[in-house]
Chains A and B, each alone.
Chain A
Amino acid sequence: SQKIEQNSEALNIQEGKTATLTCNYTNYSPAYLQWYRQDPGRGPVFLLLIRENEKEKRKERLKVTFDTTLKQSLFHITASQPADSATYLCALAGGSYIPTFGRGTSLIVHP
Chain B
Amino acid sequence: DAGVIQSPRHEVTEMGQEVTLRCKPISGHDYLFWYRQTMMRGLELLIYFNNNVPIDDSGMPEDRFSAKMPNASFSTLKIQPSEPRDSAVYFCASSFFRQGAIDTQYFGPGTRLTVL
Q: Which residues of A contact B (CB under 8 A)?
A: 31-32, 34, 41-46, 49, 89, 93, 97-104
Chain B nearest CB from A99 CB (Å) reads: 7
**Which segment, of B13-21, B69-77, B102-110, faces chain A?**
B102-110
Band of interface residues on B: 10 to 19
Q: How far is the CA of A66 from the CA of B90 in the complex (A)?
A: 30
Residue of B nearest to A4 (CB): B42
Which residues of B are at the interface with A, using a C-beta cutoff of 8 A? 4, 42-43, 45, 48, 56, 91, 93, 101-102, 104-110
**With A101-B43, A102-B42: A93-B102 Cβ-Cβ less than 8 Å:** yes
Question: With A98-B45, A101-B43, A104-B42 in contact, do A42 and B109 touch (Cβ < 8 Å)?
Answer: yes
With a 10 A CB-CB cut-off, give which of A42, A49, A102 has the most chain B CB atoms.
A42
Contact partner of B104 (CB less than 8 A), chosen from A31, A46, A89, A104, is: A46
- Which secondary structure dominates where chain B touches chain A? strand
- Name which of B4, B42, B110 has the most chain A CB atoms within 10 A of its CB: B42
Task: Give the chain B neighbours of A49 by CB distance below 8 A.
Answer: 104
Name 12 A/B residue pairs within 8 A (Cβ), A-sorted. A34-B104, A41-B109, A44-B43, A46-B104, A46-B105, A46-B106, A93-B101, A97-B102, A98-B45, A98-B48, A100-B45, A103-B43
Of all chain B residues, the one with the shortest Cβ separation from A103 is B42
Of the candidates A32, A41, A45, A97, the one whose C-beta lies within 8 Å of that of B107 is A45
Q: Select the residue from A41, A42, A98 with max chain B CB neighbours within 10 A.
A: A98
